[in-house]
Amino acid sequence: MLINTPIEHDYPTINQDQLIKLQQCERAVELKQSSRLKLANCYFHEGHYGCSEHMYCREAVAKRLQAILTVLPETMGIIVFDAFRSIATQHSLFESISKAIQCRYPALTESELNAEVRKFVAHPDEPSRFAIPPHNSGGAIDLALFDINTGKQLNFGSGFDEQTPRAVTDYFERPYEYSQNLFNESQWQTICNNRRLLFGLMKSYGFVNFSCEWWHFDLGDCLWANELGMDWYYPSMEQEVQTLKE
């Protein structure tokens, strides 16, 4: 299935049947690596506090990834950067991303810095924004597509967790712009198509994208609920993951 329609954050409303399906598949599961599902587990390998060598998510998320693999061209696979995240890891990430952004933009005021940081990471304990940080619910997933033959990630125009405007999901929807020799016009179009494919597939399987990050998708969590104007569905998965590990 090659989707090539412009990225639009307009999501269909969820009906009762779909909610029941989320409920039926709410248990915590461990993601299993296969030739077409690579588990990068980035934060574990970067040594962030509170990570596990295993990756977990809601069963509804895992099942949808498997379904997407059946419609994705056979030459492509999915690479998962991160899925369930403990609150300890969310703290660790929030601190490191805050520091990185402060170093990159030293002139930001405190409130500008707060707003910029939140484009790239949820605060670990900010109920006024999210009752449960999205990844802690097991409903959020960070991912990209890769080429099975080369093993390389497709070009998405920015790295995972790159804190620049290029991370904005629809950034490459605009007409080609020459920018610091980064991309030629054909690469710009390829990036645009790759983002459309990932976004279109995830959207067609019920996920909502966080518009500041092309790699971040949500199902049943607070970001999903905000976008759809509904109540969030999945609570913290911390306890269940703990039980799975024991």
Ligand X SMILES: C[C@@H](N)C(=O)N[C@H](C)C(=O)O
Residues that bind ligand X (CB under 6 A): 82, 93, 120-122, 133-135, 140, 142, 161, 210, 213, 216
Q: Least distance from C-beta 117 to ligand X, angstroms?
A: 10
Q: Least distance from C-beta 17 to ligand X, angstroms?
A: 28
Q: Least distance from C-beta 106 to ligand X, angstroms?
A: 21
Q: Give 8-11's long-range contacts (Cβ < 8 A, gap of 24+).
A: 9/169, 9/170, 9/208, 9/209, 9/211, 9/227, 11/203, 11/208, 11/227, 11/228
In the block, tokens 């619910």 appear at 137
φ, ψ for residue 58, nearest 5 deg: -70, 145
Q: Which is nearer to ligand X, 133 or 206 (CB)?
A: 133
Amino acid at 197: L
SS3 for 163? Answer: coil
Strand partners, 39: 80
Amino acid at 189: Q
Q: Which is nearer to ligand X, 142 or 188 (CB)?
A: 142
Q: Least distance from C-beta 120 to ligand X, angstroms?
A: 6
C-beta of residue 188 within 8 angstroms of C-beta of residue 172? yes
Q: Where are the alpha helices (DSSP H) in 161-237?
A: 185-204, 222-228
Q: Which is nearer to ligand X, 101 or 188 (CB)?
A: 101
Q: Least distance from C-beta 210 to ligand X, angstroms?
A: 6
Q: Least distance from C-beta 85 to ligand X, angstroms?
A: 7
Q: Which is nearer to ligand X, 27 or 129 (CB)?
A: 129
Structural tokens at position 6:
């412009």
Q: Which is nearer to ligand X, 120 or 233 (CB)?
A: 120
CB-closest chain residue to ligand X: 122
